[in-house]
Structures are given as C-alpha cells and as structure tokens.
Structure 1
Amino acid sequence: MGVVLNIENAKPDVASIKDLIDLTAADMGRVNELILSKAGSDVEMIPQIANHLISSGGKRLRPMLTLAAAQMFGYRGDGHVKLATSVEFMHTATLLHDDVVDESGMRRGKKTARMIWGNQASVLVGDYLLGQAFRMMVEVGSLEALDILSSAASIIAEGEVMQLAAAKNLETTEDEHFAVIKAKTAALFSAAAEVGPVVAGASRTDRAALRSYGMNLGLAFQLIDDALDYGGSSTDLGKNVGDDFREGKVTLPVILAYRRGTAAERAFWKRAIEEGRADDTGLEKATGLLARHGAVADTISRARHFGEIARDALAPLDATPQKSALIDVIDFCISRVS
C-alpha cells in the first residue's frame, strides 16, 4: 500500500514536504548509507531484489517522520537513524509481500520484484529485510522502541490477513475497511512517529501525541490513495491508475458506491470485483458511478477529517520547525488530490 511522494513534480501551489526534507537531510544521508549497508548480503539475489525496490524513487516519508520526531525533543544520539532505517525496511518488506499477495505487475513505474525474480524470492527477501530491521532495533537498546515497532509488524501482518479474508467481498463495511487500513498502513505511520520521542526520552503525553498524529496521518494517506486510484495520476499514485479496480480491491470509494447504488449498479460491481471481469471499459463505468454517488468526494472528506485529528494531536506541543514540518506533511498528503 506504499506510494511514491514525488515532491519534485508537485504543483507549485499545493503543500510540500520540502521543510521536512531539509530538516532531516543530514540524518537521511546516514539512513541511506545504512540502508545500502544492511541490504547487502553474500547471497547475490538479496541485494538485487532489495535494491530494485529501495532505489526506485520513493521519498521515504516514514523514516523522515522518525527523524523529525526525535529532533523535536532534542535527541542527539544515533539511535533514531537505526530506528528510521528499521522503519524503511519494514515498509519495503511490506511492499514486497503486498505485491505477491496482490499479484501486482508494476510498482513505482517498474516491474515488481515478483515479476522478475518470482514470488518465492520476493517473500524471502522481504523476510530478510524484516530480520535486519529487528537487528537494528536491538542495537538501539530501547525495549520500548522495540516493543512499538515489533507490535506494528504484527499488526501489519494481521491487516494483510484481514484484507485477504475480505478480498473481493463487496459486503465489506466501512468500519471493516477502516480496520484493514488502520492495520496495514496507519500502524507503521504511528510507530514511525512514536519511536522518535521514545528514543529521545520525551514524556508519555508527548509520545501519545506523536502516536495519534501518525495513526491519523496514515489513515488520511491511505484514503487519499483510495481516491487517487479512480482519478489521480500515475506520478501521484506510484502505480498505474485503476490498478485497485483491475485487481478487484474493495476500497472505500467502491464500498460507498456499491451501498448507494441501484440493483443494476450493484450487479455491475459484482461482475467487476467479485467475478474479476474488470477492464478499461469497466473502469470508465466505475469512475462514472463513483462520481454519481459522490464516493470519491466523500472518501477525500473522510481523509481530511483524519488529517484534522492528526493536526489537533500536535497542537499542544511546543512550536518547533519540526512540528511545522510535520503539519505540512498532512497538507501535502491530502493535496495530492488537488
């Protein structure tokens, strides 16, 4: 469920994450060095597959959240760099696993690893990256940070299974969908934001603020992804527009349009999603139905709601450049549909 955040191609009149990039640039240089080091192996296929995805252009938003959150509370060690790298490895492993489960052919404008090396290799290299992530967490020496990130790994796996169980099921409720995206996407955003203040020794109140910020940012982020699949661009989305429809994914716009539709419209959705008869002609019709029932607009509205909760979570914290940059992330994520 990852996305390329293409700041270079962002419209000049919308929000950006430039301040976040600038504030974390030095630390991200260390993260990138550590990524290259820890993705290495004498087993040739491991760095080949890992680098195929790692080098494919993602903006590494999640590790930047960890770094900025640690900086907010004056952290001066190097543990945040290892934790940020662990977060990125967890995210990369999830993408490798996701592409196998979803049978995806493209990721960030390139063939997925599974299309080049096969499903088995993709899963196993994802497992290797998870192992390296946990080794770095242990090196940091914070049991609380280890607990947060290891719990997130379990929750993400639960989310994968929940999504698999609900695959192509148009009777999925909005609450059930939120449970899936909370586990699959928002849990890692939340953990990434929380471990920063944890390693910096911040108060429990401050940690809770960053945890809430990350959780609600992640929910907003994924809902915008859901909306973009039916009206965004491949640049904004990091994959082909319409992929969710072609793969039969039941996302929030589909859930809303299905429930609000006529019997004939619901029959169309069943043919397209449950029976796998989704093609470009069907995508055009699906887009029309979503517009008719305001499904995309309402998905964006819900994303904005979670964005406001994320903003409010940070409100009591002292004003810092990092706090301002984290607020910009909310605006940027939602502005991708502008």
Structure 2
Amino acid sequence: MDHISFIQNTLDLSVSVKEKSWLLTDGTLVIYHSRGVVEFVPSLDFTSNRAVVLSSGVHGNETSPIELLDTIIEDIQSGKLSLTQPCLFIYGHPAATHQHTRFIDTNLNRLFSGYQTPDDSVVEVALANRLMESVDRFFTKHDAQEKWHLDLHCAIRSSQHYTFAIHPYNRHYKRSDPLLRFLSQSKIEACLFSEAPASTFSWYSAEHHGAHAATVELGKVAKMGENDLTLLADFEKELRHFISHDSHTDNEKVISSVIEYQVTRSIMKHSEQFEFHFPSDLANFTQFNENELLAEDEGVKYRAQRGGESVVFPNAKVENGHRACLLVQKIEN
C-alpha cells in the first residue's frame, strides 16, 4: 500500500492481505489491518480528544466516496496532509465494487445490528462481522472523549438535495450538535433524524460506542473514474480540515444551514406484489400530499400521512423484509 493507491491495493483480490505497519516521515504510524481497513495514528507529539472512522464502499457501486477518501489517504502518506487525531479508513465491499454491483448476496448495510454466525451462502455476514470488529478494536484502543464515524455513500437516483445525511437514533444522544456543526460547515444540504434503531454501519458506532455518527449521501452513483469530485469540494475541504486541526478549535457556535427532516416511518416490502404508485425514477425528497397513495403490497395501501410526507430511498427491488423507502417531514424551526 505504501507504493500504490489504497483503491488499487484493496481491489487487487488476487493478492492476499496481511497485517503490517510502518512509519511515515512525519512520524505517523500506518497500520494496514486487513483488506480495505487502514489506520493512521499521528506521532506522540499530537494529543487529541477525538478518534475518527471514515468508511466508504459499504455498497460496492457507490464509488465517489471511495475515490474521495483515497485522495485523502494518498495525501496523508505523501505528507501533504498531517493528521491531529487517529483515523480509521474503511473501504467496505471491494468484491461488490469488482462486480460493479451494490452487493453480492444481500445488502451489507442491513447487517450491523450485531455479530452474526457466518453463513457460507451470504458473503456479507462475515464481512459485516469483520468491519464491526475493526471499529470495536479502533474505538477501544483510542478511548477518546469524542468518537466519530462518517459512513459515506451516494444515492442511486437523483435528489432534491444533492448531499444529505441520516442522523441515526441511538441511546446516547437525541441530537448530536457537533455532528450538525460539521454537516453545516461542510455544506451538507439536509439531515434526516431517525427515531428508531437501525442496522446500518453508522447506527452501530452511535449505539455501541456513543459516536457522533451519520450516513452521509454524497451525490449520485457513477462508475469508478467517472465521478465529478468537484461537486463534493466543500465536503472534502471541511473533512480534511476536520482531521488535520485541533478539535478544540471547532467549538465555536455556528448557525446551521442544514435543512432538517424527521423520519416519520419506513415502508417495508413484504411480498413480490409490492409496487409504488409513482415513477421508478422519482427523485429523493419528492413531496406527497396528505392521503396520496404511495405504495401497495398484498392489498395493503400506504398513503401519505397528515401534513404530507416526502419519499427518500424508494426502491421496489429490495429483498422481502427490507425497507422499500423512508418517509420524512420537514422540521420547521
């Protein structure tokens, strides 16, 4: 990895990966734990009250966050970017990226509810276990005052907000002000507040480690090498600042520019009869008026609730038992 990019190293499935470590010229310790998992620990000259996990590629075809983090990793290794806190970079599902698909057997981002017995017929189960173990080990090793996990994705459809984040429900805090400050400073347009436990990667870190965590959606799916990262320049600039500056300087009060939504409910797919009553290419955050028909499944009709609801992540092709969409309402401040 010290001679080729993190993407190239991770995607070369013909070469086995063994844990190794080395020092950069600025004293930063690099620990290459396993395929797609690399840790950077600044030299002892730095003291930080923050430890940060940055993950991408949990869905294999969501490539812009993978490329964005790869440029950051390269600059850390070359000395162009100096860290002030330990960071764990995770490239989640290289086998799916290889196949230009979202997943191999099942949606990896629905498997982080806790450790499961490996299933030889579902490759994602063992992968989820390994990624949770990586996060557990990192946060146990770096028992910082502030733990962070930004799980970076991109949407499979157009959206009325090009960038947005999902703030997971967890037992530690209802609303993470440090996270919202970061989202605002990085020009993320909107944030969805969930009121129910989930099984996503960001929820796992929030629930089990009290991390300031979010699933961050950065634009739309494109093939590796075809992403226009200039559209994510504000986010990348702030992320670089976030991991390379003293966390004590980030406590100033910021007037948030983030548009906030409350997740009202999820519509689950229960059968192959499931269908939406809107076009398959509907943009995220499209508003439906009260009582408008949204979906139908085995004769059960789902209509927009009082005050109307907006649809996010509609996908009628998900597996039975999985979420077909989120429904949200704007929070009026």
TM-score (ref. length: structure 1): 0.31
Q: Whose strand fraction is larger, Structure 1's or Structure 2's?
A: 2
Give the helix-richer structure, 1 or 2: 1
Q: Which has the higher contact order (CA 8 A, sep 6+)?
A: 1
